[in-house]
Amino acid sequence: MSAQPDLSQDWKQQYQSRLATLESALGHIRSGMVIGSGHFAGEPSALLAALGSRKADLQDVKIYNMNGVTPQAYAYVNEPGWEGKVRHYSIFAGSQTRKAVQDGRADYVPCFFSEVPRLFRDRLIPINACFVQLSRPDADGYCSFGVSCDYAQSLIESSPLVIAELNAQMPFTYGDKIHISQLDVIVETDHSVLEVKQSEPDGDTSVAEAIARHVSALIPDGANLQLGIGAIPDMVLKFLKGKKDLGIHTEMFSDGVLDLIESGTLTAKNNNVNPGKIVATFIGGTRKLYDWAHKNPMVLMRSVDYTNNVLVASQVNNLVSINSAVQVNYQGEVAADTIGFKQFSGVGGQVDFVRSTGLSKGGFSVIAMPSTAKGGAVSRIQPTLTPGACVTTSRNDVHYIATEYGCVNLRGKSVRERTELLISIAHPNFREGLHKQAVELGFLK
């Protein structure tokens, strides 16, 4: 569709001429098509679910999206009988697509989140159609991307066929927006927006609390934060009360941010690029958060090639990123999206933000994780990554690593020093063995 709106006609007439039922909208999909789709709480769940009506006649359709989370949207991924009909390509193995990726019934595409729009715009993923979920239009005929700006604009601009569900319950957020004339087919929906509860840490919360305390101690007043996905970043938010004038320049935020605003901790006044704004590309939380974000001038929702663009984010002073990991080796290589050969999630914005903090004036990054996994059975700090695991953040990019036993800065440290520092924050049950291995492998003398 056109990258520019057509303002020469009355948008209400344009709207009426594009209106379709779900069934007739899906009738535009042909065998062999490549479809790009929105994701997370803004995924076009009604359109994806309605694909079921085409199960009998579609062949060789490919659907690309990022983090798939809505259960009813993924029958074509998780139910039998879809082989050869519709295949899923995931840029972040989310909760609804992870198993299929791991079992080889769906594919995984490695990519930094900031680059996803470019994959569509440069036709590296050459889509013929796209599905997006938007808010209902404002008085001028513009829809908001609601809780998911992400790469939706790039889908719309690169796709010859744009099918949009306009959900009456999608909040209208300020920032990027799209005109009715840029949509080909409009389906009116009215369903609840997927609510995403904050992650609960595995088992004993004292581990997550101890990590959050260490991380919180590093964060200066006036810092601008990016918080990643997972139990630890969620817990860190709870330990920030009492700080002054924090800001958020991130890819996503959740309900934890509301508490910080209510307590006066988060004012965003030190965001030198977008003063007073909470800047994000997607939101994942409860209805309370979505209602708060609706027409809230404090919220600025922009495409991911803005929020996660190193050239933009690095301009934000005192940018501090907090993300999590499954494993770190003595070199400081971080595995966050694979567990051995298993694709567990995706790179997301971890590397975009780690690199941006490295360039931001006063910025730094933290990778925070429990010292162990599997109920304490394995150390997350290891001499080498498990075979099959991929490096998410490289040893050249990494700054702080935090566990419940402390927080160490690897930046500027030699491999020998890194080994000593990492063993010092490993679980005490593993320290002796890790030290022995370090000597055997030549990391330590």
Query: Which residues contact ligand COA by CB under 6 A?
Result: 199, 202, 228-232, 251-252, 323-327, 336-337, 339, 344-350, 373-374, 378, 380
To ligand COA, the closest distance from the beta carbon of 252 in angstroms equals 6
- Closest CB to ligand COA among 141 and 346? 346
Name residue 152's beta-bridge partners. none
Dist CA 425 CA 355 (whole Å)? 24
To ligand COA, the closest distance from the beta carbon of 392 in angstroms equals 6
Dist CA 156 CA 3 (whole Å)? 8
To ligand COA, the closest distance from the beta carbon of 54 in angstroms equals 32
To ligand COA, the closest distance from the beta carbon of 275 in angstroms equals 24
To ligand COA, the closest distance from the beta carbon of 191 in angstroms equals 25
* Interior/surface letters 228-254, b for 16+ CB within 10 angstroms, e for the rest: bbbbbbbbbbebbeebebbbbbbbbbb
- Closest CB to ligand COA among 61 and 211? 211
- Closest CB to ligand COA among 135 and 327? 327
For residues 389 and 373, the answer to whether their CB atoms sit within 8 Å is: no
Name the residue among 147, 150, 135 with its Cα closest to residue 183. Answer: 135
Residues 6+ apart with CB under 8 A from 377: none
Dist CA 231 CA 197 (whole Å)? 11
- Closest CB to ligand COA among 167 and 324? 324
User: What are the backbone angles phi and psi of residue 390, rounded to the nearest 5°?
Assistant: -105, 150
Dist CA 246 CA 228 (whole Å)? 16
Question: What ranges in 67-183 are assigned the alpha helix state H?
Answer: 75-78, 98-102, 116-121, 152-158
- Closest CB to ligand COA among 14 and 345? 345
- For the annotated catalytic residues, the residue numbers are 251
- Closest CB to ligand COA among 340 and 406? 340
For residues 31 and 60, the answer to whether their CB atoms sit within 8 Å is: yes
**What is the end-to-end Cα distance of the chain in Å, rounded?**
63
Question: CA torsion, points 58, 59, 60, 65, in degrees to nearest 10?
Answer: 20
Q: Kindly state the helix (H) or strand (E) to which residue 440 belongs, with its residue range.
A: helix 428-440
DSSP letter at 246 equals B
To ligand COA, the closest distance from the beta carbon of 321 in angstroms equals 8
